[in-house]
Amino acid sequence: MEKLDQYAVFGNPIKHSKSPWIHAAFAEQTAQQMHYRSHKVELGRFAEAARQFFDNGGAGLNITVPFKLDAFEFADVLSDRARLAGAVNTLARAEDGSIYGDNTDGVGMVRDIHDNLGWTFPGKRILVLGAGGAVRGILGPLLKQQPASIVVANRTVEKAQALVEIFSARGEISACAFEHLAGQQFDLIINGTSASLSGDLPPLPRQIMSAEACCYDMMYGADPTPFMRWAASEMAWAVSDGLGMLVEQAAESFCIWRGIRPETKPVIEQLRHSL
């Protein structure tokens, strides 16, 4: 019996991961012979676990919290977007045995917003909330879409400013504290903070949206997040969570590994119904 190519997602915690289900759906849809599992890695043991996985013939890994920086250090070769993001969420073993590291989060979000939701980027004023690793991962792909400008707002403005310095050569981008957003208006607001997980909301002023503003939360859940509820109360033109981003970044990983791009819309719909 032919041995299936082995893939996995590494994280801690990992029980909540939808990745095994998503990649099983992709494999069935595209008739790919592969096996994908989730694996909880002990803190401080990432490099050891990843090396063992690849030494035993593993073909590729997805990386989730808190190991994306470890994966960045582990990779032998980095994509441009991984280097810019400063983090890796996809590892692939090349034919020569070297380990290639990529970051598919940003392109996954852009594809969800553009292809699935039908929102546009060029010429838009974009506000990104938060300045953590998740935000750093999306700024490069966002700037590639040629928005008029991006403002990164964060409680600690120094963290936002540090991101601006990394990306300033790639487009119009600036930083500010939440309290300095008053008087500005934006066409697209992206929540990259983890506030939704704790039922919290960044302190945003009223009348911050343009007439046709769209709001996107990188988090997702069975119910609308606090950010989504705020956006609806402020009469946003359109509102979405990040479930599509989850599937689209997985599809990009799948394409890196298997050389084929799966259809994402039916998988997003199935996942939505299962929440």
Residues identified as active-site: 68
Q: Is 18 annotated as a binding residue?
A: yes
Q: Which two tokens stand for residue 104?
A: 């598919």
Q: Is 80 annotated as a binding residue?
A: yes
145: Cβ contacts below 8 Å, ≥ 6 apart: 110, 114, 121, 122
Q: Is 131 annotated as a binding residue?
A: yes
Q: Is 19 annotated as a binding residue?
A: yes
Q: Is 64 annotated as a binding residue?
A: yes
197-201 long-range Cβ contacts below 8 angstroms, 24+ apart: 199/226, 200/226, 201/226, 201/227, 201/230
Type of residue at 66: P
Q: Is 134 annotated as a binding residue?
A: yes
**CA–CA dist 23, 62 (Å, integer):** 11
Contact predicate 24/79, CB 8 Å:
no
Q: Is 132 annotated as a binding residue?
A: yes
Q: Is 90 annotated as a binding residue?
A: no
Q: Secondary structure of 68-109 in the HEC alphabet?
A: HHHHHHHCCEECHHHHHHCCCCEEEECCCCCEEEECCHHHHH
* Binding residue numbers: 17-19, 64, 80, 89, 105, 130-134, 154-159, 218, 220, 242, 249
* Binding residue numbers for shikimate: 17-19, 64, 89, 105, 220, 249
* Binding residue numbers for NADP(+): 80, 130-134, 154-159, 218, 242
